[in-house]
Amino acid sequence: RFKAVIFDLDGVITDTAHYHYLAWKRLAESVGVHFDEAFNEHLKGVDRMGSLDLILGEAARNYSAQQKLEMADAKNRHYQDLISTMSEADLLPGAVDALAAVRAAGLRIGLASVSKNAFTVLEHLGIRGRFDYVVDAATITHSKPHPEIFLTAADKLGVDPGECLGVEDAVAGVASIKRAGMYALGVGSPEVLTQADRVIPGLDQFRLEDY
């Protein structure tokens, strides 16, 4: 019943979610903001400047736009350091098999990540060629949970949103999929991803025929 599957990247295909966490934690603590895994959950799927605003909270107004850009840049440099040694070994279990299964079923494959580093990560993982369309985050105006990125992917793949299965590890990402009118497959815990139509612990449990 689906014509396309649109995947998120960070935390679904590879564990860059952990690198984002480490980089934000160092930045947050450098400005005296406490940062833990629970708070990080709210940042998943949120773009860079949006994440910084969430971290700074009320204190955001104490910083100029220029200072905030410098903080975001510092976080990104640290993140790029962390991903620089990534390779195919960093693919999460089941990721390549899931992509191959979708391809074998004759469906189109999209990638919807708001990360401006997504192309670099795909290159490191050696899977760029497995996607029919990769959304360029630089062209997206609204971060998840806005549906723009998933709707853009569907449009470029030439399929209706209702014919798409979206795969996400983030609360904001699942919300984005649902607002786009798609079936949402969550990757993670059902207690966290309450809006998802179905939740699996990881792509090693991905079974296209079940959804």
Residues of each annotated binding site for substrate: 8-10, 24, 43-48, 51, 75, 113-117, 144
Least separation in angstroms between CB 70 and ligand G6P = 14
Partner that binds at residue 130, options ligand G6P, Mg ion, none, CB closer than 5 to 8 Å by kind: none
Partner that binds at residue 148, options ligand G6P, Mg ion, none, CB closer than 5 to 8 Å by kind: none
Distance of CA 193 to the CA centre of its chain: 14
**DSSP string for residues in the chain:** --SEEEE--BTTTBTHHHHHHHHHHHHHHHTT----HHHHHHHTT--HHHHHHHHHGGGGGGS-HHHHHHHHHHHHHHHHHHHTT--GGGBPTTHHHHHHHHHHTT-EEEE----TTHHHHHHHHT-GGG-SEE--GGG-SS-TTSSHHHHHHHHHHT--GGGEEEEESSHHHHHHHHHTT-EEEEES-TTT-TT-SEEESSGGG--GGG-
Binding residue ranges for Mg(2+):
8, 10, 168-169
Least separation in angstroms between CB 80 and ligand G6P = 8
Given the complex with Mg ion, which of 71 and 149 has the nearer CB atom?
A: 149
User: Given the rule CB under 6 A, which residues bind ligand G6P?
Assistant: 10, 17, 20, 43-48, 51, 76, 113-117, 137, 170
204 catalytic, yes or no?
Answer: no
148 binds Mg ion (CB under 5 A): no
Q: Which of 10, 136, 155, 204 is catalytic?
A: 10
Distance of CA 147 to the CA centre of its chain: 13
Given the complex with ligand G6P, which of 98 and 135 has the nearer CB atom?
A: 135
73 catalytic, yes or no?
Answer: no
Given the complex with ligand G6P, which of 17 and 127 has the nearer CB atom?
A: 17
Partner that binds at residue 135, options ligand G6P, Mg ion, none, CB closer than 5 to 8 Å by kind: none
Q: Which of 8, 15, 97, 204 is catalytic?
A: 8
Nearest to 7 by CA among 91, 101, 97, 98: 98
β-bridge mates for residue 65, sequence order: none
Least separation in angstroms between CB 99 and ligand G6P = 19
Query: Cα separation of 73 and 132, whole Å?
Result: 30
10 binds Mg ion (CB under 5 A): yes
Least separation in angstroms between CB 96 and ligand G6P = 20
Given the complex with ligand G6P, which of 2 and 21 has the nearer CB atom?
A: 21
